[in-house]
């Protein structure tokens, strides 16, 4: 569980943990216990890499991605699957992801499971990386895919020690570098990382033109069509493709607009509902989005806010946001629907470093969901208007899908609203 009162420990100044399966078996293995090559093989093609933290700690490993360096906010993710979806999720813009699961890459990667048109995460940290893929859908091994997309990644790191450090200290600036001869430079780059406060990342990752979206999940779809083919305008703060696909699978007509689209221009599209999408960064700097949402609220347009969109919705209603210590990142987060007569627990996917302060909510917003990890706010619903929001990722791909019912709830609101 995410306990922000974990006892403080001092992480190692350097770490030299080598994985036995991050290279082809025919190359021999490196024993982390003995420090010796075994089975008579040479460790061919392995290039060293380092992970430097802003507090001066350096973790050693080897490169399994592109050469060079990458700087960002170091966070940990507790999911056991979905590494391709994570890296291509715009919500991870500027972040270096540490995977707590020990073994990564068995299923390889393909061109279909992208959550956007490119990789947005700044880099990746792993304990153990599979060099070959073992899945019928794989087109690339994980290292091949990382190099193809220019992702700087390091394996062989003691991710247990790193995760405890992040839980204790909080998210921290870091640098992954394949130039191991200059650790001091990597540390300085980590120290120079400015963080995300006051930076409009949503505008940076958003589309720049209005687009119609028509692609569903195809053979993987779980269609649940609604009557009337409702028109949903999705405001793109970094929208994941799975959100759009779910709407199509449910019989919606979908139009995507850039983050800075005015309320007037959105309303000119005559939407049946507006979806405020997920996205990266600090919600407070998205003043244009908050202002537009206030117009939607005034006009009583049905609204669904997801992740960053949830936070923008809450701010538009007068609530306050706050920066979390290490955020919620993973696919195993229990969330309870606390509404009377429901009291249902759902396992959810989460990815956010900011949250809404529940104490700041106005009386006209009802709390619908809370995290069972730390009791933080996860869901809201307007008491008088057709408006709801969820902090996590109900579209989670590859899963879990428990909270996907939030889309059905939104479409039910649309159907009821359109009947008047």
As annotated, the active-site residues are: 307, 393, 395
Q: Give the chain's largest Cα–Cα span.
A: 77
CB 271 within 8 A of CB 232: yes
* Token representation of residue 352: 């956010």
C-alpha dihedral, 212 to 294 to 365 to 307, nearest 10°:
40
Please give the order of strands across the beta sheet that includes 273-276: 211-213, 253-258, 231-236, 273-276, 303-306, 387-390, 377-382, 365-371, 321-337, 344-356
Radius of gyration of the chain (CA): 22
What is the Cα–Cα distance from 102 to 76, expressed in whole angstroms?
Answer: 12
Query: How buried is 187 (Cβ within 10 angstroms: 0-12 exposed, 13-18 middle, 19+ buried)?
Result: buried
CB 90 within 8 A of CB 174: no
What is the Cα–Cα distance from 61 to 64, expressed in whole angstroms?
Answer: 10
What is the Cα–Cα distance from 216 to 113, expressed in whole angstroms?
Answer: 12
* Token representation of residue 194: 């400015």
* Token representation of residue 361: 């909510």
User: How many CB atoms neighbour CB 340 within 10 A?
Assistant: 5
Continuous H helices in 324-404: none
DSSP per-residue string spanning 184-197: HHHHHHHHT---ST
Identify any residues that bridge with 379 across adjacent strands, giving them in sequence order. 369, 390
What is the Cα–Cα distance from 126 to 272, expressed in whole angstroms?
Answer: 44
Peptide bond into 277 cis (omega under 30): no
Identify any residues that bridge with 328 across adjacent strands, giving them in sequence order. 352
User: Which residues, other chains included, contact 170 with Cβ-Cβ below 8 Å and sequence gap of 6+?
Assistant: 325, 326
C-alpha dihedral, 293 to 296 to 302 to 307, nearest 10°:
0
């Amino acid at each position: 569980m995410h306990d922000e009162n974990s006892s403080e420990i001092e992480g190692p100044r350097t770490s030299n943990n080598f994985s036995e399966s991050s290279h082809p078996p025919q190359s021999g293995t490196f024993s982390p216990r003995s420090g010796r090559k075994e089975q008579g093989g040479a460790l061919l093609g392995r290039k060293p890499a380092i992970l430097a933290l802003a507090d001066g700690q350096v973790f050693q490993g080897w490169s399994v991605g592109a050469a060079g360096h990458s700087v960002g906010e170091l966070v940990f993710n507790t999911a056991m699957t979905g590494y391709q979806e994570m890296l291509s999720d715009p919500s991870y813009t500027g972040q270096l992801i540490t995977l707590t699961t020990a073994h990564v890459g068995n299923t390889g990667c393909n061109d279909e499971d992208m959550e956007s048109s490119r990789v947005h995460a700044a880099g990746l940290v792993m304990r153990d990386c599979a060099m070959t893929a073992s899945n019928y859908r794989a087109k690339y091994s994980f290292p091949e895919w990382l190099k193809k997309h220019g992702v700087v990644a390091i394996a062989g790191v003691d991710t247990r020690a790193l995760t405890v450090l992040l839980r204790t200290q909080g998210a921290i600036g870091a640098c992954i570098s394949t130039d191991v001869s200059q650790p001091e430079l990597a540390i300085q780059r980590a120290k120079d990382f400015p963080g995300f406060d006051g930076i409009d990342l949503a505008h940076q990752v958003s589309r720049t033109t209005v687009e119609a979206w028509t692609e569903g999940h195809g053979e993987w779809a779980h269609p649940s069509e609604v009557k009337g083919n409702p028109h949903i305008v999705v405001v793109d703060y970094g929208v994941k493709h799975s959100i759009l696909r779910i709407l199509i699978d449910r019989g919606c007509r979908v139009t995507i607009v850039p983050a800075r689209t005015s309320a007037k221009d959105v309303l000119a599209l005559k939407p049946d509902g507006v979806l405020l999408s997920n996205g990266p960064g600090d919600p407070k700097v998205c003043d244009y989005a908050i202002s537009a949402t206030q117009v939607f609220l005034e006009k009583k347009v049905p609204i669904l806010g997801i992740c960053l969109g949830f936070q923008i919705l809450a701010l538009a209603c007068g609530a306050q946001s706050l920066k979390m210590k290490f955020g919620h990142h993973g696919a195993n987060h229990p969330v309870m629907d606390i509404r009377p007569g429901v009291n249902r627990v759902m396992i959810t996917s989460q990815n956010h470093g900011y949250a809404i302060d529940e104490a700041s909510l106005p009386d006209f917003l009802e709390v619908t969901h809370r995290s069972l990890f730390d009791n933080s706010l996860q869901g809201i619903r307007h008491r008088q208007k057709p408006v709801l929001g969820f902090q996590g990722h109900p579209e989670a791909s590859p899963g879990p899908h428990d909270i996907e019912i939030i889309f059905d709830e939104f479409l039910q609101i649309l159907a009821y609203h359109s009947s008047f």
